[in-house]
Structure 1
């Protein structure tokens, strides 16, 4: 048996006096870790409680509690008049200690000891920066949200509904679904009931569920020539073949879709018709009806993503394709509460009831618990008119920001870019008259406190364009951002290669 004197317990065990974890549990956990890794093999005699307390500079009663914990968990056995010994399999512990070498107990393994599948398809495309000014692809300003008011509603419901919080319910709050279905009926012309709704965490989660149920490897999915990168990643993960269709001032080309359908079997068409991502173009009413007719004729699914339907400024928005679908060919997805703080948002899917039943099965696997409390908060905000009031107030602010951003682009970048003022949404699509190296421009702007993520840059042999979100900026912030952008554009075009 090993002598306890030869084992460097001071290096094996580190005590953090500021930790919320009790000292005796810190010591217990680290001793268990040492046993598991073979640093304290089978049969090792541990020091007496007095000796170990002196070595670790703790009270003897602490070590007594440590040994009681190890004994209770079955890691040691105590023999009267002999001492305390590590329990375990001698051969197993011997093999562990041979491979353990001199590893520090505090180091977690850097690599898995088994093989697994890897994929670069799902590599995180999002970047982060410490710059003061940051362009995004059209995200609301959370500083405008009335968090105190939402928190009050949340707290009130928490007190009234406490008995229901502990229940798993992936079907979601019936109260919320009833009010959301009414809200979508009134605001988007969707003649649905709560039975046609599936509540999800986000738009991406909605698309993932749809893809897992409806798509198979080798299926053909049509998307816009430029499309939302996260959605494309989800489709690629499913193993489908993605085909692109051109976009013009009226939206996706129906004629191209028709030509493809005549040659190949199409499984799905993905659309962002209200404001196409990233170009912000609205799909015309005529093309919406043509696409519905094509889907019925050739049997392909239309996955309609209305990611920013609530953001419209100059006129009433065109109703979704789903509002005119009578044959069950359209699956409608969107987000609710996008104007609110991130924790108060949710996604949803609208589909026929038989498909919804299958989707609920899948949701029950990946999100069994749900978030009944938050959904009830959102339901009350609809019922009490808070959502409508906040939407009306916010749209006024975002319209002012849109108009101011347009005037700044006109003032500082008119000779370099072409753009149209979007009728809705929180972003502009800007195409460069003279090609400029956008990656270089992004790098130079970052050096001057303005961050432009690569996901906003669209550059190839035929196109140089950017998607620039304005919703997260105050007027002063967007003035400074456009100023920095303009100065660096001029610097590059004037031959500054730094």
Structure 2
């Protein structure tokens, strides 16, 4: 008889019930070959005496093994290891110090994709000059909470809490269509709108539908890595063109079209180019649309911070001047409200929207109907538009404050152009400054900022980074610049 008293150990203080502990340990002994197929287990009274537990605990442990197929009961004889385990090769017990722990390294091979290895941005506590995040303290939390509660009192519960439209909640699509038509000069219906979990999901869906392996995608030399990661995942070949103080160099794009002909997509952030914040000049916008029609490529327009333009009225999107349906327009409420509200959208002709919705169905059956309804309600009541106006005034003042501080306190350390809009300053530091060391020193002083290395095109060293001002009040901006001045001295 095996020494069950030493093989089986229990902890009555553990959160796992004792009978489950025993059942799992018996299963492990079977897998390891310590208990062989057809072997008889001790009687329930005998094992209960050995382990100092109630007999019903052993009965429950055996019943668990019987239910899972590890054990079998023979009437009048007892409980045995199931005979079908005679065909199973025993598994050797693995030392906890081994290098191949299954919770760290799988037992099968898979191809890692180096372009996916990118640091995940997380909102930092304390002082921060981030990538250009909104101030969550301004978000209309009370209004959103009321809209959430109204969902539970509205309509048919069977419908409200069942499956919803793959394209997104109809109320939000209706209200968003109205909002985009009024503020951005678009000509949409709700059927032209797909609600996504942030703009990154929209970019992923569009990339998977429009791109085939080997297709050429053109971006600026500096661009958003989140977009290029999706293009590479779809198997696209990336080409780049310069970005200057007037945005994407569309004549360089025209040259690429002449050389390659079959360009499939051009990715742009024309309102405020990411990361440099410059606005694509009007003549270049017209030329870009002309090239799209001439060569038949799609223009993927990411309008990530349209609501925050300080110089004048926001520049209308490319999509507003697109008579041939060449532009796929992607946006989000993440920067307008808060990153936790994963509400983005894709606007395109219905033929593409329908196909995107079909693909979305096998990735994420639907979005969050409750959140989408609540946001739709905030559009309908005007609460969200009032929030946009308040945030615009606030961020405008913070931009001016921050730029004044940089000019006064750090005149020789960096160069920047006061951005016409957006939520960050593109700062180009003196070449003698090591950006990685700068970020590390600032971090030790309690200030988070990016080292900007992810913005460097291959083979180039821009020595620049984005310094977000929107998420900090004026006093926090003053402290942040003081820390920056200290670590640069």
Q: Structure 2 length normalisation: TM-score?
A: 0.91
Residue in 2 that maps onto 1:384? 381
Pairwise CA distance, 1:53: 3.8
Change (3 A) 1:88 1:36: farther
Worse overlay, 229-238 or 163-172: 163-172
Verify: 1:249 aligned to 2:245, yes or no.
Answer: yes
Pairwise CA distance, 1:393: 1.5
Number of residue pairs the alignment of both structures matches? 482
Residue in 2 that maps onto 1:75? 70
Residue in 1 that maps onto 2:113? 119
Pairwise CA distance, 1:342: 3.4
Residue in 2 that maps onto 1:294? 291
Change (3 A) 1:376 1:40: farther
Between the aligned partners of 1:471 and 1:88, the Cα distance in structure 2 is 67
Between the aligned partners of 1:137 and 1:102, the Cα distance in structure 2 is 44
Residue in 1 that maps onto 2:233? 237
Describe the SS at the equivalent of 1:91. Answer: helix
Between the aligned partners of 2:394 and 2:18, the Cα distance in structure 1 is 54
Pairwise CA distance, 1:15: 5.2
Return the match for 1:136 from 130, 136, 139. 130
Kindly indicate whether the alpha-carbon contact (under 8 Å) linking 1:37 and 1:100 is maintained by their aligned counterparts in 2.
Answer: yes
Between the aligned partners of 1:25 and 1:367, the Cα distance in structure 2 is 34
Kindly indicate whether the alpha-carbon contact (under 8 Å) linking 1:435 and 1:464 is maintained by their aligned counterparts in 2.
Answer: no
1:361-380 matches, within 5 Å, as 361-380=358-377
Kindly indicate whether the alpha-carbon contact (under 8 Å) linking 2:360 and 2:366 is maintained by their aligned counterparts in 1.
Answer: no
Verify: 1:66 aligned to 2:65, yes or no.
Answer: no
1:78-117 matches, within 5 Å, as 78-93=73-88, 95-97=89-91, 99-100=92-93, 108-117=102-111
Between the aligned partners of 2:27 and 2:130, the Cα distance in structure 1 is 48
Residue in 2 that maps onto 1:464? 463
Residue in 1 that maps onto 2:255? 259
1:4-15 matches, within 5 Å, as 5=4, 8-10=7-9, 13-14=10-11
Residue in 1 that maps onto 2:224? 228
Worse overlay, 232-241 or 179-188: 232-241
Q: C-alpha deviations, 1:114-165, integer Å up to 9, x for none?
A: 2222211111323669873233210112122232331221122023253221
Kindly indicate whether the alpha-carbon contact (under 8 Å) linking 1:37 and 1:96 is maintained by their aligned counterparts in 2.
Answer: yes
Between the aligned partners of 1:267 and 1:388, the Cα distance in structure 2 is 36
Task: Extract unaligned runs of 5+ from structure 1.
Answer: 491-498
Between the aligned partners of 1:424 and 1:109, the Cα distance in structure 2 is 46
Q: C-alpha deviations, 1:410-468, integer Å up to 9, x for none?
A: 12111221212212111001122454111121122222222223446656656321211
Worse overlay, 206-215 or 329-338: 329-338
Verify: 1:453 aligned to 2:450, yes or no.
Answer: yes
Residue in 1 that maps onto 2:322? 325
Between the aligned partners of 2:121 and 2:289, the Cα distance in structure 1 is 37
Worse overlay, 111-120 or 406-415: 111-120
Pairwise CA distance, 1:199: 1.2
Between the aligned partners of 1:147 and 1:132, the Cα distance in structure 2 is 21
Kindly indicate whether the alpha-carbon contact (under 8 Å) linking 2:271 and 2:317 is maintained by their aligned counterparts in 1.
Answer: yes
Between the aligned partners of 2:136 and 2:355, the Cα distance in structure 1 is 35
Kindly indicate whether the alpha-carbon contact (under 8 Å) linking 2:131 and 2:450 is maintained by their aligned counterparts in 1.
Answer: no
Change (3 A) 1:182 1:39: farther
Between the aligned partners of 2:343 and 2:301, the Cα distance in structure 1 is 17
Pairwise CA distance, 1:317: 0.5
Verify: 1:473 aligned to 2:465, yes or no.
Answer: no
Pairwise CA distance, 1:27: 4.0
Worse overlay, 330-339 or 276-285: 330-339
Residue in 2 that maps onto 1:358? 355
Kindly indicate whether the alpha-carbon contact (under 8 Å) linking 2:425 and 2:468 is maintained by their aligned counterparts in 1.
Answer: yes
Between the aligned partners of 1:344 and 1:48, the Cα distance in structure 2 is 57
Kindly indicate whether the alpha-carbon contact (under 8 Å) linking 2:131 and 2:467 is maintained by their aligned counterparts in 1.
Answer: yes
**Structural RMSD (CA):** 2.6
Residue in 1 that maps onto 2:2? 3
Change (3 A) 1:43 1:206: same
Between the aligned partners of 2:39 and 2:153, the Cα distance in structure 1 is 54
Describe the SS at the equivalent of 1:302. Answer: strand
Between the aligned partners of 1:129 and 1:176, the Cα distance in structure 2 is 27
